[in-house]
Chains A and B, each alone.
Chain A
């Protein structure tokens, strides 16, 4: 996928007016985005994945509102009791996935773990996208010294191994989900910024930008109204991929003791399972692994399909790439 195809988008749209008959028949009245969504809707695995993701999000929202006592079952325990051996095995009545040492329901905690994952993943994405767009767009659009500076910054960030920076930042700034998301954003923006920069470099020379300029549009209008929409699909796909990466990294951070203690996160649950499986207690491993595995599989499959559907190379084709 290269940015070069992006510039062609409006060129094709222009061509439909005097284009071939076949082109006109296919294109009339349907925007490239609508065509993409139509392709996505015809992709069966993408739809299954989307259904799973929706179900996860809905469950997390319902549980987070306190309904059905899920939140209470996941977080509340008897603070006056010194008994930390209140484990119940998987399959206990009323506690399908058992309970942990504090007597908290593992299924409920796994469900609350979706909330943490969503929160972290979305927050990291929301922080990454503006950074990447800003740096990528400015570098590609203005070129020259600005471009040199941004390129230098990007190679510096890439040269420091991300996980080191993330760990150091969390250790120094303090453990909170916001810090974690910020650390992921600071280390994770370069990939997207590079693509955006490439797209802007090409757009600067393209005819549709020249046309907009000839009509009297200023820099800001051209950048926000004409060029930025053309990198939208990179942003979406990057968001999904980063989401998967963030959720997996949280487990690693939990393993080195850098996640939030007491919160229901998949990472901290799996990490506590580390010492529990040797006494045959599997509940803290089974619950979050199942939830995370299914959720991330759905995200990966959906991300793949989304990339195929939004790929401008396939813009006018009716077939779904296998």
Chain B
């Protein structure tokens, strides 16, 4: 187990190196660094001399390979310097913005998965009849409507006209729940469709297996068969699917964070991209990547825990 973990951690190094390379290609070679220099200077200061001066100051005149190794060094030590727009330390910004994202994503995701599982079980039990069909149609509709439109409609009717939620805003601490309630609700509405469809497929497939018929034939009540056998076995694909989604929670919440002015990491990143704030961009992308790789290890471990046939080698 420890041996496996150690090997997995070592195996992430080439991936991190590759991410640094992608990042470097996009930002330094495609033209990012020139745009960056252009952007950090005030309009009047954009003379060739000052641009050269800044190019030197940021080390952008050094050989490409040195710059690349520098980027890798930044990523490994997680030291990205200061933000170009706010002059705050990037590591401080990340630490400050992550909690709001987690507060938005984690509860919403948990509720959504539970709801999706319940609906999928309903579908599997009433397969082909009206509850199954209704949920199916609603899922496809939810997947097809643009999220932005639903968010606009939700804010207008539920927050503005019905007055059930504040329109937008943020406070630190527990008071934030007031501002998070509507984004949570919208999150669940928008994402539940995908998961219901996936869970339903997993359950229906498991339901069609021989052992289910055997259990029913020996007189076991259908509900018990569903809970003890079908659900447990379907949990293997379902759990993998759920864990794979976790890293995308951070990107998935970008729209909601920006729309409802929630100071999360997605909002931080969008700001950084729009203002060419290179240090913050690098830091957020590294953060996302580490998060992603970390979770793929967790997925493997969970997989082994749920399915006794899987051995970590």
Contacts and interface: CB of A to CB of B under 8 A. Distances in A.
A293 B141 contact: yes
Contact of A168 (B147, B255, B281): B281
B229 interface: no
A160 B270 contact: no
A138 interface: no
A252 B148 contact: yes
The secondary structure that dominates the A interface is helix
Given A172-B30, A172-B35, A160 B285 contact: yes
Interface stretch (B15-23, B98-106, B217-225): B15-23
B22 A171 contact: no
Contacts, number: 133
B149 A270 contact: yes
A156 interface: yes
B289 A160 contact: yes
Given A159-B293, A160-B22, A171 B146 contact: no
A273 interface: yes
B167 to A, nearest CB: 10
Interface in B229-280: 247-248, 250-251, 254-255, 258-259, 269-270, 273-274, 276
Interface residues of A, number: 48
B258 A293 contact: no
Given A277-B152, A277-B156, A157 B143 contact: no
B288 A171 contact: no
A165 B22 contact: yes
B312 interface: no
Nearest to A274: B152
A214 interface: no
Interface string A92-116: 0000000000000000000000000
Nearest to A157: B22
B22 A172 contact: no
Contact of A256 (B32, B144, B247, B270): B270
B148 A270 contact: yes
B31 interface: yes
A172 B26 contact: yes
Nearest to A248: B146
A285 B149 contact: yes
Contacts of A252: 147-148, 254-255
A132 to B, nearest CB: 18
Interface string A266-296: 1100110110011000000100110011111
A168 B27 contact: yes
B175 interface: no
A126 B153 CA distance: 35
Contact of B251 (A161, A285, A288, A301): A161
Contacts of B14: 152
A156 B15 contact: yes
A117 to B, nearest CB: 11
Contacts of B270: 167, 256
Given A159-B15, A292-B144, A292-B146, 16 more contacts: A156-B22, A159-B19, A164-B288, A167-B270, A168-B26, A168-B281, A251-B147, A256-B258, A267-B146, A270-B149, A273-B149, A274-B152, A285-B152, A300-B140, A300-B144, A301-B140
Top 4 A-B pairs, shortest CB-CB distance: A156-B18, A296-B144, A297-B144, A289-B149
Interface of B: 14-15, 18-19, 21-23, 26-27, 30-32, 35, 127-128, 140-141, 143-149, 152-153, 156, 160, 247-248, 250-251, 254-255, 258-259, 269-270, 273-274, 276, 281, 284-285, 288-289, 292-293
